[in-house]
């Protein structure tokens, strides 16, 4: 996450300096940044899924892969995945809350400097 937020801060500084660019170039730059942000988001989601699969498999699967999953293993996997998803929700909510607070603080400081 820190890489993405660092990139956004860099981009915001760059956009402020793009006023001398031709409008179509600025639009192209913004579209490229949006595509990069999408790719980073997809990569992050893939890593999260990979981590959830790995951790839940280690915790819940004890039989060889050739045997079918038992009810206990299925329940363990479902609970494990639910716990990870609940944890991710808390983390995402915290990040969004901090981001909003930073935006408000930046707006307040910008308003004071005028």
pTM, 2 dp: 0.55
Q: Locate all alpha helices (DSSP H) within the chain, ordered by sequence.
A: 2-16, 23-60, 71-113
Q: What is the pLDDT of residue 3?
A: 47
Model confidence pLDDT, tens digit, residues 7-51: 566 566 555 555 566 778 888 888 999 999 999 989 988 998 999
Q: Are 51 and 81 in contact (CB under 8 A)?
A: no
């Amino acid at each position: 996450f820190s890489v993405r937020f660092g990139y956004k801060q860099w981009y915001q500084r760059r956009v402020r300096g793009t006023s001398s660019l031709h409008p179509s170039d600025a639009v192209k730059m913004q579209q490229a940044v949006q595509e990069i942000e999408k790719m980073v988001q997809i990569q992050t989601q893939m890593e999260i899924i990979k981590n959830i699969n790995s951790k839940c498999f280690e915790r819940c699967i004890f039989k060889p892969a050739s045997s079918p999953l038992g009810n206990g293993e299925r329940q363990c996997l479902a609970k494990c995945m639910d716990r990870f998803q609940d944890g991710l929700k808390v983390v995402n909510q915290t990040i969004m809350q901090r981001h909003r607070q930073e935006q408000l603080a930046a707006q307040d400081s910008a308003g004071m400097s005028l």
